[in-house]
Amino acid sequence: MIAADPTDSLPDPPMTLVDRFFADRARGLSPVGLGCMSFGGMYGPTDEATSRATLARAVDIGVRFWDTANIYGEGVSEEFIGRFLADHPGSRERVILATKFAITKSADGKRVVDNSASHMREALTASLQRLRTDHVDLYYVHRYDPAVPIEETIAALAEEVKAGRIGAIGLSEVSPDTLRRAVSVHPIAAVQSEYSLWTRTPEFGLIDACAELGALFVAFSPLGRGFFGGLLDDPRTLEPSDFRRANPRFEGVNWQRNRAHLRSYLDLAAAWGVSPAALAVAWTLAKGRHIVPIPGTRTAAHLEDDAHAAAIELTAERLAELERLLPPGFAAGDRYSPSQWLHVERYG
């Protein structure tokens, strides 16, 4: 008689966030996510009805990787998402919900970064209340605080994973070395960084490190903060509160030089019969199966356009043509102003 294998009666291990993403993709759900910074007014005033229609459409078409943060509008983005989920029963289970902590304000009102365990727990509790949920699927360290060893921060986050308040741990704007240090303590499900045709720094090791270590690489601003959509003629017309008003790439001579490159890009997209926005997102998808672009938008029409990127097949020849037109380093101006570089790790 053959003895029964005692493992036969054990339940299957729970699906990790990374496994869930790839399983969703295999089921035909969109590999394109949604960046939710704009819902906090970071790109000008928002309209509640229009924004709600955008989230409803995201649920309908399978755009389920939603990425927000506690500082987007000082909690406004989280509150808006929380209201939407509460008003649409069953939608929470259809969403991979991510938020972040670390950037906060000091007593004198200045932006600072705090990776301490006590601040993390306080910030998490507040985010869960605003999101009206008992857990988030992914919780990011928004910026790395050199005053707190990353190992200590990850160990504290691992306790929240065990407690069930977060499903997985993520990092944002870190170097490959910091990622490796973090993984030595606990698995990291995702690393977020700006990545687009005009921001190529993650190619200096971070994208490859994510693939090696089993983490998703979450590409924010794949449209270059709207640049590759081709709809902005003059940044001076932007709302005073718009994040781009202080961004070097949208200022003066830098803007004029970047706009000159954009004309050729728009012509290429038209020749290929695709929208410029979808083409920019499709380029990020073509750079790695583990890459999750999260373009931000406040309208359902733009959301559908961005999501259409998954249907665009870029051959090796077309990728090469696109990258000859817009080679690494073509963009004039830095991707952040000096104040916006707060604790972003530089590498490469």
Q: Give pLDDT tens digits for 168-180.
A: 999 999 999 999 9
Q: Is the pLDDT of residue 190 over 80?
A: yes
Per-residue pLDDT, 31: 95
Asked if residue 10 is part of any domain, the answer here is no
Q: Is the per-residue pLDDT at 186 higher than 80?
A: yes
Quick check: is 47 in a domain? yes
Interatomic CA distance for residues 148 and 166, integer angstroms: 21
Query: Does the annotation count 43 as an active-site position?
Result: no
pLDDT tens string 261-299: 999 999 999 999 999 999 999 999 999 999 999 999 989
Mean pLDDT calculated for residue range 323-332: 95
Res. 7: pLDDT tops 90:
no
Is residue 12 in a domain? no
Q: How many CA atoms lie within 13 A of 318 on its CB side?
A: 17
Q: What is the pLDDT of residue 109?
A: 82
The answer for 344, left when phi > 0, alpha when psi is -120 to 50, beta otherwise, is beta
* Residue 7 falls inside a structural domain: no
Q: For residue 322, is it within any domain?
A: yes
Assess whether pLDDT exceeds 90 at residue 212: yes
Which CATH number do you get for residue 124? 3.20.20.100
Q: Mean pLDDT for the chain? A: 92
Q: Give the neighbor-by-neighbor strand order of the sheet with 96-101.
A: 34-35, 65-67, 96-101, 138-141, 169-172, 190-194, 216-220, 291-294
Does the structure show a pLDDT above 60 at 8?
Answer: no
Least confident of 3-17, 106-120, 192-206, 234-248: 3-17
pLDDT score for 11: 54
CA dihedral 10, 12, 14, 20 (to 10 degrees): 180
- The mean pLDDT of 308-330, rounded to a whole number, is 95
Residue 218 lies in a domain: yes
Measure the CA angle with vertex 105, ends 100 and 106; round to 5°: 140
**35 in a structural domain:** yes
Whether residue 106 has pLDDT greater than 70: yes
Name the H helices within 4-149.
Answer: 17-26, 48-61, 76-87, 117-131
8 Å CB contact between 35 and 296: yes
Tell me the mean pLDDT in the region 200-217. 97
> Is the backbone of residue 112 left (phi > 0), alpha (psi -120 to 50) or beta?
beta
Q: Give the integer Cα–Cα distance in Å for 280 and 214.
A: 25
Per-residue pLDDT, 87: 96
Nearest to 47 by CA among 38, 58, 37: 38
Longest dimension (CA), the chain: 82
Q: Sorting pLDDT into bands at 50, 70 and 90, what band is 239?
A: confident
> What is the rounded CA–CA span in Å between residue 264 and residue 11?
55
d(CA 303, CA 230): 15
Tokens read off for 341: 């570089």
Could you tell me if residue 1 is inside a domain? Answer: no
**Running DSSP on this structure, what letter comes out for residue 215?**
-
Number of domains in the chain: 1
Which is the catalytic residue, given 43, 72, 144, 265? Answer: 72
What is the C-alpha to C-alpha distance for residues 79 and 133, in angstroms, rounded to an integer?
11
Q: Amino acid letter at 22?
A: F
Domain membership of residue 99 as a residue range: 17-341
